[in-house]
């Protein structure tokens, strides 16, 4: 039984009376689902210049942390008032990057391009989502631990710390940059 047979002749007449003399739309280019915009404008890899924003890949000298553990670093020392405000989530982040679910090599490249873009735009504070590692082998946070090392060794970074629960908690970090 097809759909039209379920509709009575009386209902069909009521419908035709309600819509009147309308014509079907010939070109239906309606987009029903918008794609989610990226958190920052992506640069073409061809345009990416290896500059002083390159991320150092030194041996990991920080102790590995778990998904629920906080990470933090401040070049001015952890008792700095500005760093305390950063840890409290008092600075509004101006941009964000989502790395969770990526392989380490891809995350490193995305981070380098993101940091370069932040430098060009004179951004002060950003949010970087790294995840807690629940999708990794042994539920160990690979990106979180790599990011902990990469950010410590980066010349632009003044400090970073795990985010407030509303911004991702221990699955994300606030990063504050040095002034130019």
Report if residue 11 sits inside a domain: no
pTM listed for this prediction: 0.68
CB atoms within 10 A of CB 16: 11
The residue that leads in pLDDT, 23 or 100, is 100
Report if residue 39 sits inside a domain: no
Element (H, E) at 73: strand 72-74
Question: How many domains is the chain partitioned into structurally?
Answer: 1
Report if residue 22 sits inside a domain: no
CATH number at residue 126: 3.30.1370.110
Tell how far CA 157 is from the center of its chain: 18
What range does the domain containing 78 cover?
71-177
d(CA 132, CA 67): 4
Report if residue 129 sits inside a domain: yes
Report if residue 32 sits inside a domain: no
Mean pLDDT (whole number) for 172-179? 94
Report if residue 76 sits inside a domain: yes
Report if residue 146 sits inside a domain: yes
The residue that leads in pLDDT, 136 or 100, is 100
């Amino acid at each position: 039984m097809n759909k039209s047979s379920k509709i009575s002749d009386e209902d069909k007449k009521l419908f035709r009376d309600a819509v009147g003399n309308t014509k079907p739309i010939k070109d239906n280019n309606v987009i029903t689902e918008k794609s989610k915009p990226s958190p920052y404008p992506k640069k073409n890899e061809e345009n990416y210049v290896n500059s002083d924003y390159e991320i150092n890949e030194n041996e990991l000298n920080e102790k590995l942390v778990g998904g629920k553990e906080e990470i933090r670093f401040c070049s001015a020392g952890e008792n700095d008032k500005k760093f305390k405000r950063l840890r409290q989530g008092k600075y509004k982040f101006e941009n964000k990057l989502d790395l969770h679910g990526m392989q380490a090599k891809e995350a490193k490249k995305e981070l380098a391009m993101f940091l370069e873009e932040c430098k060009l735009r004179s951004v002060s504070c950003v949010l970087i989502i790294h995840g807690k590692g629940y999708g990794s082998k042994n539920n160990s946070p690979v990106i979180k631990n790599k990011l902990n090392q990469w950010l410590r060794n980066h010349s632009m970074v003044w400090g970073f710390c795990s985010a407030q629960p509303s911004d991702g908690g221990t699955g994300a970090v606030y990063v504050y940059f040095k002034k130019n």
